[in-house]
Structures are given as C-alpha cells and as structure tokens.
Amino acid sequence: MHPQLEAIFDDAESRYLKQDELHLLSQYVDSLPIRLNAYRTLRDRELEIMQPVADELQTQLPNEKIENLERAIKTAMLTLRYCAMGLLLNDQSFAQDRLISWLGGTMRLYNIQSINTVLYRLVQQHLSQILSPQEVNLLTPYLNAAETLIREQSLETTSTQ
C-alpha cells in the first residue's frame, strides 16, 4: 500500500485523520475501482497484450537474435506484472524495489537495451488500445519509472564494460 496511506492507518489509534489525510484516502478509494479493473485486464489479457507486441518486435528487429527478443519480452512481462501490482497498491516504490532486485543482473548479463527501446514503445502503444484512458494514465508513471530504471541499468552495464 502507498507509504502515506500506511502511515495514516498506523497512526489511527492516536487521533482522527486530518483533512488532507482524508483527501488522500478519498483519492485512493475513488481510484481503486479503476486500479482493480486495470489490474484485472492486465492479468486476464496478458497474452493478448504481449503477443502482438512480440510479433511487431520481431518485424521491426529482424536481424536480432530470437533468444534476445524472447529475453526482452520475458523481462517486459515481468516488469508489467510488477507495474500492475504497484498500480493496484498505488505504490511506485513497490514496483521499483522489485525491479531493482533482479533487473541489474539481467541487464549486466544481456545487452538488450536497443530491443527494450522498441519493446517498451510497442507495449505502451498496445496498452493504450486495451486499457481505458484513465487506466493508462494511472499505469503510465509505473511503466515510465520501469523504463527509466532499465535504461539506467543498461547505461551502468555499458559503462562498466
């Protein structure tokens, strides 16, 4: 759960919520149905989302090794799952913490940044066709943070080689 919301609940025994805390809680509760729907859609339609992305990726990068394409797609699927859970919890640090734990090693082992650049553009394009605009707006910060983290991990990898 979002750290600020957790803090509000932890302090419930000593006082009532302040107006700004109630507002924060209200925003979370109001957005929860949209978050739940987006999560369910991502969960239930993962293959429907990723298969066209994988097909288009192979079309756009025909000279890339299949193993590298598959690895990048698997990484993107795991990333999307973490982003979906972060979205559901309304906690960007959840997704980032989980991604950092395994992403660095993946980026050090395999140089797939050029694939990731195309891949994440395709994922975001396809998600905008599957999700509602509100759901896309809620998910985009998580995807952008993940993409930035992947880019940073790739830059660290190339600078240490």
At 45, is the secondary structure helix, strand, or coil?
A: coil
At 2, is the secondary structure helix, strand, or coil?
A: coil
Sequence-separated (6 or more) residues with CB below 8 Å from residue 86: 92, 93, 94, 95, 96, 142
Could you tell me how many helices (H) and strands (E) the chain has, helices first?
A: 7, 0
Residue 61: phi, psi to the nearest 5? -125, 65
At 138, is the secondary structure helix, strand, or coil?
A: helix
Walk along the chain (161 residues) and give the pLDDT tens digit of each residue. 566 667 777 776 788 888 988 898 898 899 999 999 999 999 999 999 999 999 999 999 999 999 999 999 998 999 999 999 999 988 888 888 888 877 766 665 666 777 888 999 999 999 999 999 999 999 999 999 888 887 776 666 555 55
d(CA 147, CA 116): 8
Sequence-distant contacts of 98-101: CB under 8 A, at least 24 apart: 99/146, 99/149, 99/150, 100/149
pTM: 0.84
Q: Determine the CATH number of domain 3-160.
A: 1.10.490.20
Domain ranges (residues) in the chain: 3-160
Closest by CA to 45, choosing from 81, 2, 14, is 81
